[in-house]
Amino acid sequence: MTGTSRSVSSDWDVSIKVTSLCRDQRVSSLGLFITLLLTWLLAFLALSTTGFAEEGAKTDSGARWSLSTLNADWEEVRNTMVAKGVAIDLRMTQIGQAVISGGKDTGSAYSGHSLGILIVDTETLGWWRGGNLWVEVEGNWGNAVNLRTGSLMPVNSNRLYPVPGRNALAIPAVTYTQFLSPYVGLSIGKVDTTLGDANEFAYGNGKGEIQFFNLAFNVNPVTVIPSPYSTLSVGVVLFPTKDSDAAFLSLTAFDSNGKANSTGFDTVFKGNTTYNFEGRVRTNFFGLTGHQLIGGMYSSKNFTSLDQNARLVIETGTIERKPNSWNVYYNFDQYLYETKKGSGQGIGIFARWGISDGNPNPAHYFYSGGIGVNGVIPGRPRDSFGIGYYYLDINPLKVTVASGTRELGRDEQGVEVYYNVAVVPGIRLTPDVQVIRPGQKQVIATGKAVDTVTVIGVRLQFSF
């Protein structure tokens, strides 16, 4: 999915499937050094100037909380830039998690993620009408407990970006959109596909930065196989009214082999193309804000089949392939109570559903649902809370040997609860608990059963 679509992975070899998203590896010290240097330099500059601690002694609480970043001076500069057509968003997210029981192995891990977004409005800049440029610079470091859990859905989805399983610095998005009218826009470039499948209570920009940690509440798993995270794309977006938030329909085509750390020109549209449609409409059931979204994908790529004959693989080295993959996905969010219409504060519910071909896509069916609470707790107008449940029906890898056919994997289900605390403007702290019955049944090397896993964690985010 492109600017209005979403997913995570490039090509999964079936032998590693979802775990290829979370494999913890070493990376070049240079890339890690640059990422850390840029991130902590931004933090130092923001905190070393006139910050909120100092401003708090001079202003009232309401004035402080009207800010959205750590530094008042930078906030003023940024607002001036926005008025002239240039917007900059900088944030750093750090996550610590521990597997305290069950899974494949207990233990803890720390990871970090930095993201910079540049948005340029050509009309506001005085250049030409209808132009919009979106650029992302992203880095990550550290490790995650994802592989310890045995879960097919990573419990730390933030660690997957820009490159899963290793430290990296990349430019995952450089997208230009030209609006021909208030109703039609054409886009081209490298896109961040997590910007799609939006949901009021289970989204967090698709990267586990704001709401839920688990991938199952940030993307629809049925979209993962045919849709890489960062890829070259062309598309059109249609708006039935001048209110772009009321409804849209997007139609896109993108490279099925895109990667965040490469330009993608070596693979683009060479017989491996994914086509995607997605539409979203704002609703007003019972006089309360809600949204309905539906989308679908078709990929022409040849994928690794889920049915493999071990004898054939051993004797010929040939892995069976299966052409094409499709999926359909849906989500909704609905407020049950709002402090003020359209304020984004209230109590609501959400749900996701998806279906795929089942082979080569192992995520055959998926559904999730839960409750979201934004800004209604007395004295905590910027805090949020969420609880969600998901169920993933998988078509497991089947390996045929002399003694019969063996299935590797089982259906997975889990629950997650988080509470996002606005400590001060620009700093958020989020404790989190997840309980999951993993999709992996046993450790292949030892035969040890993989039991229900409990993961606790905390997320600390700085916005500059």
pLDDT, residue 244, reads: 87
8 A C-beta contact, residue 371 and residue 348: yes
pLDDT tens digit sequence for 105-153: 999 999 999 999 999 999 999 999 999 999 999 999 999 999 999 999 9
The residues spanned by each domain of the chain are 17-463
pLDDT, residue 64, reads: 47
Q: Phi/psi at 345 (nearest 5 deg)?
A: -115, 130
**DSSP for 335-390, written as a single string:** EEEESSTTSS-EEEEEEEEEEE-SSS-SEEEEEEEEEEEES-BTTBTT-EEEEEEE
Banded model confidence at residue 319, pLDDT cuts 50, 70, 90: low
Distances, alpha carbon 395 to alpha carbons 72, 221, 381, 398, in Å: 52, 13, 44, 9
Tokens matching residue 232: 């070259």
Q: Which of these, 196, 140, 130, lies nearest to 165 by C-alpha position?
A: 140
Distance CA 207, CA 161 (A): 8
What is the pTM for the complete model shown? 0.81
The helix/strand count (H/E) of the chain reads as: 6, 19
Count Cβ neighbours within 10 Å for each residue of 183-209 and write b for 16 or more, e otherwise: eebebebbbbbbbbbbbbbbbbbbbbb
Least confident span in 20-34, 210-224, 316-330, 446-460: 20-34
CATH architecture type of domain 17-463: Beta Barrel (2.40)
Residue with tokens 């209230």: 346
Distance CA 99, CA 450 (A): 13
Distance CA 361, CA 395 (A): 8
